[in-house]
Amino acid sequence: MGKATEKVRQTIDDLHRVDGNAELIDGRIIHFMPTGHLPNVVAGRIYRRLADHVDDAGAGVVYTDNIGFAVAELSSGRESFSPDVAFYTGPLPTNPMRFVEGPPTFAVEVRSEGDNGPAADRAYAAKRADYFEAGTLVVWDVDPIAEVIRSYRLDRPDEPITFASGKTADAEPAVPGWRPMVDQLFPPRR
């Protein structure tokens, strides 16, 4: 008769030791592939515009991809987030080498190759639900090919506001006063 083996739940401390981009979901470390050229450039442009605004406003911190946000276990089992760009207004970690404790105030998820279609839409909706359960105020779902931003708010999680070329975007109420032109968030077409 064989022995039953019990799966050991991984923790935030285990996640700290992981190389590369990963999140802790249901006691398992889930690794993510590196992103491609266009999603990375778009995330960088969003970061740059957001960081300039936050520097001028003097409140909060802007993070690039690969930051870890540790949260209490959510109903989905998720215990961390690693958005492509984030804005955070809570207390900073006591140990600055560790993850931020708590959810981002504003999270940006830039779609990568293969992140389109019904299955990807369901996965993004589930992740947005996790963000909102954790307390994030606004989540952007950014399509770098269509050059469209869908802004979801905690108070209206199923009613996105769509920002497209020629329009001004916002992340209210998470980032007061930030009004980037959508065209500035995507690289010029070549």
Domains of the chain (ranges, CATH numbers): 12-185 (3.90.1570.10)
d(CA 55, CA 59): 7
Sequence-distant (≥ 6) Cβ neighbours of residue 89 within 8 angstroms: 59, 60, 61, 105
Share of the chain above pLDDT 90, in %: 74
pLDDT tens readout for residues 119-148: 999 999 999 999 999 999 999 999 999 999
Average pLDDT of the residues in 157-169: 97
1: pLDDT confidence band, cut at 50, 70 and 90?
A: very low
- Pairing label, strands 106-110, 80-81: unpaired
**Tokens linked to 108:** 């940006």
Q: Does residue 190 carry a pLDDT above 50?
A: yes
Average pLDDT over residues 87-112: 96
Model confidence at 10: pLDDT above 70: yes
Q: Residue 23: which pLDDT band, with cuts at 50, 70 and 90?
A: low
Mean pLDDT of 47-71: 94
Chain-wide mean pLDDT for the chain?
90
Give the model's pLDDT for residue 38.
Answer: 94
Q: Kindly tell me if the per-residue pLDDT of 173 is higher than 90.
A: yes
- What sign has the CA pseudo-torsion 41, 45, 47, 51? positive
Residue 111 has a pLDDT of 95
Mean pLDDT value of segment 20-37:
74
Provide mean pLDDT across the span 23-37.
75
